[in-house]
Amino acid sequence: TRLQFEHAIQVPAEFSAKPKKDKMGLFDRCMAMCQDTDHRVRTAMAEQLHVIAGVVKNNGGDDATKRDMLQSIAEELLELLKDEEIEVRDAALGAAVEVM
């Protein structure tokens, strides 16, 4: 499950080889990158949110965990849809369409 998630969001191999405790909060880091100050980072994350949502739906663990993670994705997606940069909003809209 973790490896599928890492592959889906294209985690570099040097991070993938680290023990789980060193990668604590990979999902949380992805969600935090949605709020990055660089619009290019926000755009890249918006482009990947539908992929992350798909991985969570199919492999996210128990129902409560899936629900919480999908809620976080939805919240970030809504914020990205209101971003000041048009590129970010466009990427978020594309992700929203893909999630549906």
More confident residue, 79 or 26: 79
Count the Cβ atoms, other than its own, within 10 Å of residue 28: 11
pLDDT of 3 reads: 58
Q: Taking residues 20-42, what's their average pLDDT?
A: 80
Q: Taking residues 89-93, what's their average pLDDT?
A: 95
Structural contact between residues 100 and 73, judged by C-beta atoms closer than 8 angstroms: no
Q: What percent of the chain has pLDDT over 90?
A: 43
Query: Please, where are the H alpha helices in the chain?
Result: 2-8, 13-16, 26-33, 39-59, 63-81, 86-99
